Structure 1
Amino acid sequence: MTDPHAALLALEAAVPGLADLRRVEPARIDWVVVETALGTALPPDFKLLAEQYPLLHFGDYMSFHTPQPGTEEAWARALAEEREDVADLLDVDELSELLAVYPEPGGLLIWGSSIDGDTFLWTTAGSGSEEWQVTVASHNGDWWHYTAGAVQFTAGLISGAVEPWGLPRVRPEVITIGGEA
């Protein structure tokens, strides 16, 4: 997988003005609380993005679901509650025999979503979270994998380096959610 800092730089290169939204000081997210509640470590690129940036929405289309300081327990609970949504996606698309929901080994765990109902997940397989691949569940029933982290995937989706396979092209624009910059 891509180095987390290289992935973040690729995202900043793909989205003009993104670097201007970088926090002056990294957020102090209590990853021990988050990861203990989830029962797993999260990928380093995702953690770096969460520490360096407020909540982001790209191209009026997609958002990362990142914890913010002081919301760690609630964020982990909300992510755990989304497991039922993942199970529903698998059932609707008749994939529950092929794919599992985290915390099952190799199960799917949500990291982002789109305004169109597309879901961005990790396949939690491998010896560590840095090996997790991205799995996309598009609202039209297309499912596919991308062998890199969430930040690199998003950079490639926005820059055009990643074939969108049923997703719209994502404009290289970003806004913060909740007004924090």
Structure 2
Amino acid sequence: MTETLIETQTPTCRLTDPAEALAALERAIPNLADCRRSAPAVHDWARVEEDLGTPLPSDYKHLAEWYPTFAIGDYILVNLPEPGEEHLVHRDFKSALDVLLDAWLEPALGLPAYPTPGGLLPWSESDEGDKFMWSTTGDNPQEWVVTVAGRGGAWWHYAGGAVQFLAELCDKSLEAWGLRIFEPEVTPC
């Protein structure tokens, strides 16, 4: 089976501080701050992570604490857990995994899906069917890389976190291999 993975894009500096990554995203999408909560939401992350069977990256959790689900440029849906709905998160991740397994990973590339060690765990998608996932390699989710599965067949890694990936995709410091060009603005929250 031939893998169509292109290669890895590496940020100049990986942002490991969740607040710094979020600030970069807010700079890259000027109207994003209009959707920011006045205070961080309180999530039951212990429940979410227990249900999933893995801790999640801190930048993703920080984003979900400050923002509800939003869409960027009518293209990328950033579906975030809502407080009080933590019991639904596992179902949402499982549903996204089922789509990946049926249509993308196993038959097309033979790539493993989570919970296989190192498997792919989806965290976002585009309205055109592009998938944005974490490669769950290693014991530290802060070191997971983003894997992009472009609907047109382009597969590649980004050696940074999800929030930094979105920031650099929106400020165009990242090459959008196989992805549609879009305006970095948030549609109604």
Question: What TM-score does the superposition give when structure 2 sets the normalisation length?
Answer: 0.88
Aligned to 2:92: 78
C-alpha RMSD of the superposition: 1.2
Aligned to 2:125: 113
Deviation at 1:172, TM superposition (A): 1.5
Deviation at 1:76, TM superposition (A): 1.5
> CA separation in 1, counterparts of 2:188 and 2:95?
24
Q: Which moved more, 1:135-144 or 1:167-176?
A: 167-176
Deviation at 1:144, TM superposition (A): 0.5
| Structure 1 unaligned regions, length at least 5 | none
Structure 1's consecutive aligned runs of 4 or more residues displaced over 4 angstroms after TM superposition are none
Deviation at 1:103, TM superposition (A): 0.5
Aligned to 2:9: none
- Pick the aligned partner of 1:122 from 134, 159, 174: 134
CA contact (8 A) 2:158 2:165 kept: yes
> CA separation in 1, counterparts of 2:117 and 2:182?
32
Deviation at 1:65, TM superposition (A): 2.2
Deviation at 1:176, TM superposition (A): 3.8
Aligned to 1:131: 143
- Pick the aligned partner of 1:41 from 55, 60, 69: 55
Question: What TM-score does the superposition give when structure 1 sets the normalisation length?
Answer: 0.92
CA contact (8 A) 2:68 2:81 kept: no
AA aligned opposite 1:174: V
Deviations 1:43-75 (A, max 9, x none): 000000000011110011001221101111112
AA aligned opposite 1:121: M
> CA separation in 2, counterparts of 1:176 and 1:104?
36
> CA separation in 2, counterparts of 1:146 and 1:60?
22
CA contact (8 A) 2:41 2:83 kept: yes
- Pick the aligned partner of 1:57 from 48, 71, 88: 71
Q: Classify the secondary structure of the residue corresponding to 1:18.
A: helix
Deviation at 1:175, TM superposition (A): 2.2
Q: Does 1:69 align with 2:83?
A: yes
> CA separation in 1, counterparts of 2:182 and 2:160?
18
| Structure 2 unaligned regions, length at least 5 | 1-13
Aligned to 1:9: 23
Aligned to 1:157: 169
CA contact (8 A) 1:134 1:147 kept: yes
Deviation at 1:20, TM superposition (A): 2.5
Q: How many residues align?
A: 174
